[in-house]
């Protein structure tokens, strides 16, 4: 514990966007500072604190006046407050906010007691009433990369390489707009026999009936063989590499990594104007932005890309360059390190 300068708690077992951020970011952060995760549901390869390490929280790390506790959820902010203010552990608290709605009084109370606050986009920052710094997420371009051969990428995940595939990845629920995507491809595929659609993501118990209804719609349309529900996959990059077009149909989103992951894989994106999507997708170059909850606009935008091979190729190439230039994971790690260093410097 003497070498641990930063703790990244993850108090949610199920895969989520926050979890994905931690999984991608921590190994890179570990190259430049002592960092450890705390909590369930994370890969064994990440540096982790164990239960017996908790006693070490009350000893300062070597060369630092305190540790940084970097929370990304309310429960993690609360745990940090208990450790710092009630149990007197030498900690300073950083919170990353991705929410784009007015915070509850409880969340505002927690945020107001942080030592530093990060917003994942300018739009997110507009909902904060405390000083903050905008740090857009980055992407691991080594993990999310274009395929050498799209047909082989399809075969690798069990998709028909004779088809071009349009995908929608993320939790299956109304908030994520999965029904909009399904309705769009039901309208598009009958007149486009060279295309198929794939939905990758988990439906939790309270959204299982929603998923069942979508599968029923697909069956009634006679498209069960060409609209595939493939469930949740921890190793998602191979699925992106099999795609020719990605649709992010969310009705609401905090940040939303999926457009970055798709673009890094050389896949153009049709995305709704929620989360940070309009700050990620370059309109007319790497994809297009459509109004949220607008099925007609989404279908029309997807049509343009599905029917124009040249447009998809140009947008896919532009997307790779755009992400590698503007959203490297190293940039995010570096900006967070600056925030930590400012806290340590302030204490000195």
CATH of the domain at 343: 3.40.50.2000
Do 219 and 125 share a structural domain? no
Which of 191-195, 228-232, 284-288, 344-348 is predicted least confidently? 344-348
Examine residue 297 and state whether it is found in any structural domain, yes or no. Answer: yes
Examine residue 131 and state whether it is found in any structural domain, yes or no. Answer: yes
Do 116 and 86 share a structural domain? yes
Do 299 and 241 share a structural domain? yes
CA dist., res. 39 & res. 143, Å (int): 24
Sheet hosting strand 164-169, strand order edge to edge:
227-231, 195-200, 164-169, 245-248, 269-272, 287-290
Do 180 and 270 share a structural domain? yes
Report the predicted TM-score, pTM, of the whole model to 2 decimal places: 0.84
Sheet hosting strand 91-97, strand order edge to edge:
35-38, 6-9, 67-71, 91-97, 116-119, 133-134
Question: Is 280 within 8 Å of 257 (Cβ atoms)?
Answer: no
Do 270 and 192 share a structural domain? yes
Do 237 and 186 share a structural domain? yes
Do 171 and 57 share a structural domain? no
Burial grade of 4 (CB within 10 A; 0-12, 13-18, 19 or more): buried
CA dist., res. 240 & res. 228, Å (int): 14
CA dist., res. 273 & res. 230, Å (int): 26
Domain range enclosing 338: 6-138+328-347
Structural domain count, the chain = 2
Examine residue 1 and state whether it is found in any structural domain, yes or no. Answer: no
Calculate mean pLDDT across residues 305-309.
Answer: 97
Do 12 and 26 share a structural domain? yes
Examine residue 144 and state whether it is found in any structural domain, yes or no. Answer: no
pLDDT tens per residue, range 12-48 = 877 677 888 898 899 999 999 999 999 987 888 899 9
Calculate mean pLDDT across residues 169-190.
Answer: 96
């Amino acid at each position: 514990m003497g070498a641990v300068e930063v703790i990244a708690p993850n108090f949610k077992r199920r895969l989520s966007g926050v979890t994905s951020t931690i999984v991608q970011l921590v190994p890179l952060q570990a190259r430049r500072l002592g960092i450890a995760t705390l909590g369930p549901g994370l890969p064994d390869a990440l540096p982790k604190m164990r239960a017996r390490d908790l006693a070490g929280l009350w000893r300062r790390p070597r060369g630092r006046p305190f540790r940084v506790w970097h929370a990304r959820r309310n429960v993690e902010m609360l745990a940090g407050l208990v450790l710092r203010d009630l149990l007197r552990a030498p900690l300073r608290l950083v919170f990353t906010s991705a929410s784009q709605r007015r915070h509850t009084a409880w969340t505002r109370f927690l945020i107001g007691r942080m030592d530093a606050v990060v917003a994942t986009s300018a739009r997110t920052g507009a909902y904060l009433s405390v000083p903050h710094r905008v740090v857009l997420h980055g992407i691991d371009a080594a993990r999310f990369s274009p395929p050498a051969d799209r047909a082989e990428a399809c075969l690798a995940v069990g998709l028909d390489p004779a088809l071009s595939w349009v995908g929608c990845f993320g939790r299956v629920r109304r908030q994520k707009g999965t029904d909009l995507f399904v309705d769009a491809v039901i309208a598009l595929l009958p007149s486009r026999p060279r295309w198929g659609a794939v939905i990758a993501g988990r439906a939790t118990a309270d959204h299982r009936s929603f998923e069942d209804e979508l599968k029923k719609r697909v069956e009634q349309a006679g498209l069960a063989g060409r609209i595939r529900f493939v469930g949740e996959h921890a190793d998602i990059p191979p699925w992106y590499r099999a795609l020719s077009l990605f649709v992010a149909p969310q009705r609401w989103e905090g940040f939303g990594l999926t457009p970055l992951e798709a673009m890094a894989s050389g896949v153009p994106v049709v995305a709704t104007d929620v989360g940070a999507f309009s700050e990620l997708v370059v309109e007319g170059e790497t994809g297009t932005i459509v109004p949220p909850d607008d099925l007609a606009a989404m279908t029309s935008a997807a049509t343009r890309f599905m029917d124009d091979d040249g447009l998809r190729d140009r947008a896919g190439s532009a997307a790779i360059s755009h992400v590698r230039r503007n959203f490297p994971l190293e940039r995010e790690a570096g900006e967070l390190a600056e925030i930590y260093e400012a806290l340590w410097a302030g204490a000195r």
